[in-house]
Amino acid sequence: MVNEPTACLRDTLNSGDTEGGRAEGIDFKVAHVSQKKSVFVEVPFEMANSMQGGLVASSSAHPRAFPAIVVGGLIVGAVDLLYAIAVYSPRHPILIPQTIASGILGAKSYSEGTYSSALGIVLQFVIALGAATVYYLASRRLKFLVSHAVPSGLTYGALVYLFMHIVVLPLSAVPKGDTPFVYMAFEFVEHWFCVGLPIALSVHHYSHEIA
């Protein structure tokens, strides 16, 4: 027969074990829930950081195409137009954009006034932006167009001149006429510095701006 003090001690120990077990169980559940919450909180942050890092890496890997093309194209369009006005028709500057528009309208462009002049200006910048776009796209494959911008730009200007006079102008509605050789020579060199070079330098600048 067990005496009362021993029984009380045993009951006390059993009670303590039970309460301790419950406490341990509660602590385990709380810790488990806390771990789950921390996982749920950390995962979105990790995903956000990963996405942000991917966007930064992507933007660093690709240069800024829009300003590279637009800045180069606008400079070329303006400088080339001013050169043509200064050399060919300084007293009647409206004739230059009308001549450009004659590629579409033909000889009647010269009698259309401001309409054909405005059309010629638009076409001038469309052609310039097109040339800048071609150079930019080529520079994505041919890296020397970026790393060696000056010689590449000068060469590209010469190629643009040849393309315009061998392919575009013969297929256009521009009235045919003989241009003195000296004007053709100066225009050829002008395309090096006023067409090809600004485009190449613009692509070079915006390709290295983020690096």
Same domain, residue pair 117 and 181: yes
Asked whether the beta carbons of 92 and 48 are under 8 A apart, the reply is no
For residue 26, what pLDDT is reported?
47
Segments forming the whole domain that contains residue 19: 1-61
Residue 178: left (phi > 0), alpha (psi -120 to 50), or beta? beta
Same domain, residue pair 52 and 83: no
Same domain, residue pair 31 and 42: yes
Burial (CB count within 10 angstroms: exposed 0-12, middle 13-18, buried 19+), residue 155: middle
Same domain, residue pair 50 and 127: no
Same domain, residue pair 55 and 79: no
How distant is the alpha carbon of residue 92 from its chain centre?
A: 38
For residue 177, what pLDDT is reported?
86
Same domain, residue pair 91 and 5: no
Same domain, residue pair 82 and 55: no
Residue 113: left (phi > 0), alpha (psi -120 to 50), or beta? left
Domain end residue (candidates: 61, 88, 104)? 61
CA–CA distances in Å: residue 59 to residues 39, 47, 55, 66: 30, 18, 6, 13
Same domain, residue pair 161 and 196: yes
Domain end residue (candidates: 61, 83, 111)? 61
Among residues 92, 91, 120, which one has the least CA distance to residue 104?
120
Same domain, residue pair 188 and 160: yes
For residue 116, what pLDDT is reported?
98
Domain count, the chain: 2
Same domain, residue pair 129 and 39: no
Q: What is the pTM of this model?
A: 0.71
Q: In angstroms, rounded to a whole number, what is the distance separating the alpha carbons of residues 208 and 204?
A: 6
Same domain, residue pair 122 and 201: yes
Domain end residue (candidates: 11, 31, 61)? 61
Same domain, residue pair 22 and 95: no
pLDDT tens track, the chain, 211 positions = 444 444 443 444 444 444 444 445 545 444 444 554 444 444 444 544 544 544 334 444 455 899 999 999 999 999 999 999 999 999 999 999 999 999 999 999 999 999 999 999 999 999 999 999 999 999 999 999 999 999 999 999 999 999 999 999 999 999 988 889 999 999 999 999 999 999 999 999 999 764 4
